[in-house]
Structure 1
Amino acid sequence: MIFRVATRRDLPAVLALLADEDQVLDPASMPVGAEHERAFAAIESDARNEMLVLTDAEADGTVLGCLQLTYIPGLGQGGQERALVEAVRVRADRRGEGLGAELMRLAAERARGRGCGLIQLTSSKRRTAAHRFYERLGFARSHEGFKLPLERP
């Protein structure tokens, strides 16, 4: 397995993982719109954001998992940064092999190496299997999350 920063070439595979977590979609069938291109370019050019992928070195670099890390500066915790984990996905046909745990371990290692004092995430209330997964990794349900959708102008 190879854990690395995603490149533009990985974008269709990442979109396939995010589009449907219950089945494997062909990345070649994923429409990559201008909004995806803008978002990826913004992540790629921002020193506080990283889209990371886990690839199979033996299968032509097939993307098996992904996540986004955002580093947030703060005054709490002695001024240490915290890492926010978003968009965690592992290919449906490769779950149960420890890839998700490895992806999260590597993300935590990366955040720790940057000096982060905390790694945090939110997960949809309906993703109960994901909640059990995060708890097995040592994440605690310490806060309640709130979201407010904003209307587009």
Structure 2
Amino acid sequence: MASIDMESKNIRLAQLHDAESIQLLLEQLGYALPVAALAKTLTEYQDNPQSRSDELLVCEQPNAQGEPQVVAVMALMFFDYFPALSRICRITAIVVNADMRGQGIGTLLIDFAKARGRQEACQVLELTTSTQRIATQQYYESIGFTKTSFRYSLALG
């Protein structure tokens, strides 16, 4: 998988040293995960990339000192969907740092997801979002996504 640069932004696979940045971003989505758990998962991603059906990506850009700074995170999952006999690329998480929103980073990530989906022979790119995130839903619809279903969940633990 090749990374892309656009206006000094770079999308790449997440690495162990990104754990704290990812934790802070996921908190903005309402997920309070310990850094140690994220580090363990990132280590598993790095050690066994072929055994996973998903990818964890970060978008970085230079900070004021010119050093790379993680400003967004996105997780993609690729799977076969039997009822439609198709392959799907699902964005399972996407968040841009609140201070960086409105600069095209989310659109850049979604364009990257489209390209990755095509590389994986997917026919559909899908995502879910909270019913409470009205502005987010409007954004997704403004860039071409359509609301096609409701998702229900049941905790098994």
Q: Same fold (TM over 0.5)?
A: yes
Question: Whole-Å Cα distance in 2 between the matches of residues 41 and 128 of structure 1?
Answer: 35
Whether the 8 Å contact between 2:28 and 2:95 is mirrored in structure 1 is no
User: Taking structure 2 as the reference length, what is the TM-score of the superposition?
Assistant: 0.81
Q: Deviations over 1:61-87 (max 9, x none)?
A: 101111100111233444x32111012
Cα shift at 1:94:
0.8
- 2:5 counterpart residue number: none
Q: Mind listing any 5+ residue stretches in structure 2 that lack a counterpart?
A: 1-8
Q: Is 1:122 matched up with 2:125?
A: no
Percent of aligned pairs with the same residue?
Answer: 25
Whether 1:86 and 2:92 are equivalent positions in the alignment is yes
Q: CA deviation at 1:141?
A: 0.4
Asked if 2 retains the 8 angstrom alpha-carbon contact of 1:43 and 1:49, the reply is no
2 CA distance for matches of 1:129 and 1:41? 34
Question: Take 1:129 and 1:43, find their aligned partners in 2: how far apart are those partners?
Answer: 32
The alignment's TM-score, normalised by the length of structure 1, stands at 0.83
User: Partner of 1:150 in structure 2?
Assistant: 156
CA distance in 2, matches of 1:98, 1:112: 21
- Alignment counterpart, residue 53 of structure 2, candidates 40, 48, 54: 48
User: Structure 1 stretches (4+) deviating beyond 6 angstroms?
Assistant: none
Match of 2:119 among 113, 118, 131: 113
Give the match for residue 104 of structure 1: 110
Relative CO higher for 1 or 2, CA cutoff 8 Å, sep ≥ 6?
1
Q: How far apart are residue 43 of structure 1 and its match? A: 4.2
Equivalent position to 2:77, from 70, 79, 84: 70
Partners of 2:131 and 2:87 lie apart in 1 by: 26
User: Shift of the alpha carbon at 1:20?
Assistant: 2.1
Q: Matched residues in 2 for 1:115 and 1:68: separation? A: 18
Q: Aligned pair 1:138/2:141, yes or no?
A: no
Q: Is the 8 A contact 2:81 2:87 kept in 1?
A: yes
User: Where does structure 1 lack aligned partners over 5 or more consecutive residues?
Assistant: 23-29
| Equivalent residue number for residue 101 of structure 2 | 95
The Cα of 1:93 is off from its aligned counterpart by: 0.8
